Chains A and B, each alone.
Chain A
C-alpha cells in the first residue's frame, strides 16, 4: 500500500511541477490573499473584538485560520470527484481500472497529493501571518490541532466521496459540491464568526462540519485550548466522520456498479 501511495504522490508531484509557472503563482496568490485580509482587519480595528473574544479578539488571526483551513474543505469536496473526472477525460482511468488496484484505492490515493499541497499552502499562510503580519500563536496546542485536522479531512473527504459518486454516474452538474461549499463558506465561520448571524441562521451552521473544525482549530492554535476544552467540537467531528464515511463508501460502491452496468465508467 505505501508503495502505491508513494507512486501516486510521485506521479502528481511530477505533473504539478511540470507546470512550473502555475506551481509558483499559487504561492503569490496566498501572499496577496493574506495582505488583503491584513488591511481589511486594520479597517475593522477594535470594532470586531466583542464577536471575537473567545478567539483572542484579533480579526486578522481569526480570518487567516479560516481561509487557510477552508482550503481543506475545497480539496476534500473536490479532489475525489476531480480525480474521476480528470481520469475520464484524460483516458487514464480505464488504464488504472484494469489493474488489480481497487477503484476506491485509486480515488483515495489520487487525492493524497492535493491534501499534501494544501497542507503546504496552509503552512505558508500561517508562517506568513506569524512572521510577517503579527499573528500571535503563543503555545499553540499542536497535537490537538493535528487531531482536529485529521477528523476534518475525514469528514470533508466523506462528503467528497459522495460527490465523486455523483460524478461517476452523472458525469457533470454535481449539486453537492456547490451546496456544501457555498453553505460552508457563508455559514461555517470562514470569514466571520457565526455569532454575527441571526439566531435562526446560526442553526444552519451547526449542521456543517466546517463550523466545528474552524472553531476547534482557532481555539487550539490561538488560545491553546486543551483536548478537554475542545472535547465537544472533536466529538462532533468524529460523529460526522463515523456517520458519513461508511455511507460515502457504500454510495461510491453503488455508483461504480451502476457505471459498470451502464458501461459509462470511463465516459465523461
Chain B
C-alpha cells in the first residue's frame, strides 16, 4: 500500500559547536548532537498526522528532512512515493510547507505580491496564479488585507498568509510546523478548524502537523507520534496512546436512590477496576460515583443497566479521560528511561 509519507530508520546528527579551548586540546575530535535517532513512521493519504514533542525533540528537523531541506545521515524516506534522495523536485511539486516563521516573507511587499512571487517559483502560469490566489483568499477570507504591506499585518493574518502560501500550488501533502504557537485562542481555534475541516475532511489533503500543544494534537489529529530526543516514543490514535499508559476509563455518575447492595453488585463486576461513592454536598440524597472501567464499551452498559434495573436514577454521567499531559509525561518518562 502506498503511503503519503514513509520514513525508515531516519538518523540525523548535527555537528556540535566546540569551545576554542576544546578545539585546542582535541583539534580533530568531532562532536555531534543526534536530532533524529531511528525514526520510523507511515502516514496514510488523507490523514491528519501529528508529531508531538517538547522543544528540541526533533519535530522541525523531521519536517525539514521530509521537505528536502536537510539530508539524513542514515535511513530513507518517501513523500508521495518519491525518494528524498533522488526525487527532490517531484517532492517539492507535491508538498507545501507552512511554518510559524513570519520572517519568511518580504515585509516590504504586499501579501498578494508575496503570494504571486512564491507561486511563480512553483512554475505556475500568470493565469493559474491569479485564479489560485483569488480562490485561497476567498477560503481564508483575506481579500481585504491582501494588498496591504506585509509588515502591517497582525500575527494572525501573517499566519493565515503562511497557510495561503503553503497551499498556493494545491499540494496533496502539507507540512505544518507549529501553526498556532503565537496566536490568541480564537485565532488558533480558527486555524485548527480550517486545517481539520477544510483541508483534510473536505479536500482530502494529507497534513503532517508538528506541535508541542497537547490540546491541539488531541483535538484535531487522527494519529499522533510522540517524539522526544529524536526518538518516536509512541505512535497511534490519541485513544491508543492513552491505552498504552492507562487501560482504564474514568466516569463520574450522579445517582439518586442508590442502595449499598447495588453499589456492592457493581463493585463485583469484572471490568470495574475501581469504585468509590460519596454523597453530593449539594444534595444528600444524591450519590457521586467514581468508577474506573476496563474495556468501557462492554463494562459501561452493564453498570448502567445494573443501576437502572435497581430503581436508581442516573442524573449525570461524565467521562474523564486521563489528561494528555499525564499521558505525555508518562510516555516520555517511561520510554526515556528505556533508551
Contact = CB atoms under 8 A, between A and B. Distances in A.
Contacts of B103: 90-92
A197 to B, nearest CB: 41
Given A99-B92, A100-B92, A92 B70 contact: no
A22 B99 CA distance: 32
B104 interface: yes
Contact of A263 (B64, B68, B165, B169): B64
A221 to B, nearest CB: 37
B120 A95 contact: no
Contact of A96 (B61, B96, B108, B121): B121
Interface in A84-99: 90-92, 94-99
Interface stretch (A53-61, A68-76, A254-262): A254-262
Contact of A14 (B14, B15, B95, B109): B109
A265 B69 contact: yes
A36 interface: no
Nearest to B14: A263
Interface residues of B, number: 38
A97 B12 CA distance: 20
A98 B70 CA distance: 11
B130 to A, nearest CB: 13
A256 to B, nearest CB: 10
A225 to B, nearest CB: 42
A228 interface: no
A263 B109 contact: no
Contact of B70 (A19, A90, A260): A260
A90 B104 CA distance: 6
Contacts of A14: 108-109, 113
Interface string A241-268: 0000000000000000100111101100
A4 interface: yes
Nearest to A18: B108
B71 A99 contact: no
B105 A261 contact: no
A21 interface: no
A229 interface: no
A260 B116 CA distance: 27
Contact of B117 (A7, A98, A261, A262): A7
Contacts of B239: none
B113 A96 contact: no
Contact of A91 (B64, B71, B104): B104
Nearest to A98: B97
A101 B121 contact: yes
Contacts of A11: 106, 109, 113, 117
Contact of B69 (A3, A10, A90, A266): A266
A95 B165 contact: yes
B42 interface: no
A15 interface: yes
A3 B126 CA distance: 8
A263 B121 contact: no
Contact of B106 (A15, A99, A101, A265): A15
B118 interface: yes
B181 interface: no
A92 B106 contact: yes
A92 B103 CA distance: 7
Interface of A: 3-4, 7, 10-11, 14-15, 18-19, 90-92, 94-102, 106, 257, 260-263, 265-266
Shortest 3 CB-CB distances between A and B: which pairs?
A91-B103, A99-B121, A7-B120
